[in-house]
Structure 1
Amino acid sequence: MLAYAHRAARDDPTNTYGGDLSPQLHSSVPTSNLETSLRLLSLGADPNFYHKEKGCCLLHTAARAGQTSQVELLIVYGAHPGTTHSQSNTPVHYTASMK
């Protein structure tokens, strides 16, 4: 029941889950699977992770996919909604263009 209660810091030596969880979170946010995203965030994935190859952050990916619940979850975990990506757009640009 408390699987999501502990949020391990990325540099916490007790974080034994190995590897960086943020790229996994980047793959999860364009889907509707909130449980996976919540689990990764609770294990210490960075909600402000910037994918250098794709030139965007998690909020951009979730907003572009129309996953408003994922966007809300990322913001609750501290993602910055004003972050721009390589084309100088914010996540709001994607949500506004979808209406």
Structure 2
Amino acid sequence: MFYLKQPNVRETIERVKTMRSQEWLDFAIWYHTGQDYGKNKGLYGYEGYIQFLEHRRELELQIIEQLPFQSFIMDNSDYAWENQQQTVLNIMMKYL
């Protein structure tokens, strides 16, 4: 399993929201804060959305550490997707 880790959730979302529509952002905020989980946790608006994503990242990383198979957590703070793709290919070639 390969996990691309963005160290700063807020920075990542700030970057992504410049590439997507306001409708996308509004839906993402609603989806993560306006349903039962978000409501039960008192999450609201953009800040609640960021809190949700930060918590989800923490849970994902905890779960990955417990997986019964090899996983790779890859720092993607420079947003160099092509480099990450090459790293994945290089790792996969070792196992073929």
> TM tier, shorter chain?
under 0.3
TM normalised by structure 2 equals: 0.27
- Richer in strand (by share): 2
Q: Higher RCO, 1 or 2 (CA under 8 Å, sep at least 6)?
A: 2
Of Structure 1 and Structure 2, the greater helix share is in: 2
What TM-score results when the alignment is normalised by the length of structure 1? 0.27
